[in-house]
Amino acid sequence: MKRNKQDRQKSLKDTILENPFVTDEELADKFSVSVQTIRLDRLELSIPELRERIKNVAETKFDDEVRSLPIEEVIGEIIDIELDRTAISIFDVRREHVFKRNDIARGHHLFAQANSLAVAVINDELALTARANIHFIQSVKESERVVAKAKVIKIDNDFGRTIVEVHSYVNNELIFQGEFEMYRSTK
């Protein structure tokens, strides 16, 4: 059942607030309308296009700064972080990240995004991966955007260990999950 314009625009606004990385094509599918209708709705609601939304999120200063590694060593782009709680990064799969014969992303890039996010979320000068339990659930193709979300599950200061769960998504579909046991200093 199609929604009326007012209901659709309210839902559109809520959807974009929840996931600023959603494309116009995904929105058109979700609301069973044309891409042009979505663009007109965005224009009426003064919601910028995807590229501008990503730029705005990336330019937003975080309350916390990454302590455990230089920000340029993080694979992907951190767009939100709360040290020792949660973090989100995005990674655009480009030609150099895929196998030439099938355009599927090499697994070590997806692992590197998740692992570096697990390191970055640790509120310590020293954070190292002690153990990782990972699962690749779906393949990722060239030009797809991977959104990784890290969540600190447990901090054990007595043993200097922190458990971080990372889930990675393409178009809101789970493609990778991992549980990382991180070593941190006990001082």
**Six-digit token pair at 48?**
């910028």
Q: What is the domain partition of the chain in residue ranges? A: 5-58, 62-184
Question: Are 116 and 99 spatial neighbours (Cβ–Cβ below 8 Å)?
Answer: no
Cα separation of 43 and 24, whole Å? 12
Which tens digit of pLDDT belongs to each residue from 38-49? Answer: 999 999 988 888
pTM of the model: 0.69
Cα separation of 84 and 150, whole Å? 10
φ/ψ bin of 49: left (φ > 0), alpha (ψ from -120 to 50), beta (otherwise): beta
Question: Which CATH number fits the domain 62-184, given the four candidates 3.10.129.10, 3.30.450.40, 1.20.58.340, 3.30.420.40?
Answer: 3.10.129.10
Which tens digit of pLDDT belongs to each residue from 129-166? Answer: 999 999 999 999 999 999 999 999 999 988 889 999 99
Which tens digit of pLDDT belongs to each residue from 78-125? Answer: 888 899 999 999 999 999 999 999 999 999 999 999 999 999 999 988
pLDDT above 70: residue 64: no
Under DSSP, the state recorded for 106 is: P
Identify the CATH number of the domain defined by range 5-58: 1.10.10.10
Torsion angles phi and psi, residue 142, rounded to 5: -55, 140
Q: Which residue has the higher pLDDT, 25 or 57?
A: 25
